[in-house]
Homo-oligomer: A and B are copies of this chain.
Amino acid sequence: MTFREGLTRMMKIEIVIHGDDVGAVRELLGATGASGFTLVSGVGGLGHDGYHQGSLLFNEHDAQALLIAVAPEDRAVPLIAGIRELLAERPGVMFVSETWVSRPEYFR
């Protein structure tokens, strides 16, 4: 028996952004129907590398946030595209990975 038994595959989207940009990501989540999320505030960190980012570099002292959203793949695809657009104009990174959940109806 594997751990996936009775669980449903979803995409977990983790976004590290400035605290000031949480509202923009939330609006996007709502617009794509992925209304649920988990927010870890007061996160620190250093910009992921430097010379490619120009003015989009995180400053270590900025208050950042880690926002976690989960969505089925068909809904994740437009959400990822939207977040990518948001991040084109803001510092931040997005990590997408596979996860399995017990109550898939929460994320549809």
User: A interface vs B, CB < 8 Å?
Assistant: 1-7, 10-12, 14, 16, 35-50, 52-53, 58, 64, 66, 68, 70, 73, 76-77, 80, 83-84, 87, 93-103, 105-108
Contact = CB atoms under 8 A, between A and B. Distances in A.
Contacts of A7: 80, 96
A3 B76 contact: yes
Given A12-B95, A103-B87, A41 B41 contact: no
Contacts of A38: 16, 43-45, 64, 66, 93
5 contacts: A3-B80, A7-B80, A10-B95, A80-B102, A96-B99
A77 B10 CA distance: 18
Contacts of A37: 45-46, 48
Contacts of A35: 46-50
A3 B96 contact: yes
A66 B40 contact: yes
A14 B99 CA distance: 10
A108 B66 CA distance: 21
